[in-house]
Every structure is written in structure tokens, then in C-alpha cells.
Amino acid sequence: MAEDTSLSSKDIKAGDHQAYMRLALSLATKSPPKSTNYRVGALLLDIATNEVLTTGYTLERPGNTHAEQCCFEKAAEKYTVATTLLGEALPDEVALYTTVEPCSQRLSGNLPCVDRILAVGKRIKTVYVGVQEPEKFVSDNSSRKKLEDVGIEVVHVAGLEKEILEVATAGHEKLS
């Protein structure tokens, strides 16, 4: 059963990437605005059944948690496995939708989201991204290359960039 979200995932047709990105964006709005992070929303989708497996957003869970991390932790709980074994528990073909490109470096010392994705393994076939990570905190994000190097497709879902960046940077000082 999919989690309760402000937009209903059961009405989204398979392959409607923009609708799933809108759902991820609605999750990002639940993240508290802070000047030290981006507000990001993410969801894991079973490609075969078009079922949202789990969702997450920045700071949803205790600690300095990113949206993808929250998704994976909640999926591990759903399948009652350690996060290190999540790749064995997920369906064969999973897509990850995330409003902002997964981070390749964490200034906090936490595991970067790209490394969390790689740890899940080949079950994640595609990562759909709303925007590239802005260079405010980390420049030269290498997550796309790391994912593509192991055969995970990275697809930009166009059309929501302005809205995603507005939500992502809420709480940041605006430059004049």
C-alpha cells in the first residue's frame, strides 16, 4: 500500500514522469525551510506495478537526513531488512524520483545519496531528476556520472525547474 501523500499516486498513469515529479515536489514542501540545506522530495516506484513503494523528504527523519535517505530507510522498514540489504528486498525494477539531483558529497559527513543509491544496487534502473544540484554547497556534483557508470540511467524531467528551485531554496538568503 502506498503512503498517504498530498497528491494521490494511484491516479498517476505509468510513465507519467512529470506527475511523479510533481508528487515528489509536493513532498519537498513538507521539509522545513533552512539556509543550510535544500528542500527535496523523493519517491521509490515499482516500475512493474506502478506502485509508490515509499516516499521521503529532507529532514523528515531525525538527524540531517536527505530525501533519498528517508526513502531508503522507510523502504528497509517496510521490507523489514537492514538498509544494507535493501537491494535484496526491493522489486526487480525500481525507479527513484528526486526533485534535486542526488548529492555526491555530504558536508555533514553523512553518506552521500549517490552512494546510498549505488548500495541498493541494480534494482534501481532509473533515477528521474527535476533539477541539477545547485552549486551553493558542493560544486561539481559527480552523481550522474557515478550512476551512469554502473548502468543506472539518469533522466531529467523537464518543466518544473522553477517550482523545484523555489521550494528547494526556501529559507535561503536571496541574492540581489
- Give how many domains the chain has, as a whole number: 1
CATH number at residue 151: 3.40.140.10
> 3, 51, 60, 68: which is the annotated catalytic residue?
68
pLDDT given for residue 3 in this prediction:
43
pLDDT given for residue 161 in this prediction:
94
Q: Sheet of 124-131: strands edge to edge?
A: 51-57, 41-46, 94-100, 124-131, 153-156
Are 27 and 67 contacting, i.e. CB atoms less than 8 angstroms apart?
yes
pLDDT given for residue 140 in this prediction:
67
Q: Considering the domain boundaries, does residue 175 fall inside one?
A: no
Q: Considering the domain boundaries, does residue 176 fall inside one?
A: no
Q: Considering the domain boundaries, does residue 3 fall inside one?
A: no
Range of the domain at 95: 9-168
**Could you confirm whether 68 is annotated as catalytic?**
yes
Whole-model pTM? 0.91
Q: Considering the domain boundaries, does residue 145 fall inside one?
A: yes
Q: Considering the domain boundaries, does residue 174 fall inside one?
A: no
Q: Considering the domain boundaries, does residue 2 fall inside one?
A: no
Cell of 105: 558529497
Q: Considering the domain boundaries, does residue 173 fall inside one?
A: no
pLDDT given for residue 131 in this prediction:
92
> CA of 125: how far to CAs of 18, 78, 82, 87, 120, in Å?
18, 20, 21, 12, 11
Residue by residue, pLDDT tens for the chain (176 residues) are 344 444 457 789 999 999 999 999 999 999 999 888 899 999 999 999 999 999 999 999 998 899 999 999 999 999 999 999 999 999 999 999 999 999 888 777 689 999 999 999 889 999 999 998 766 555 666 889 999 999 999 999 999 999 999 999 998 876 55
pLDDT given for residue 4 in this prediction:
42
Residues in the chain: 176
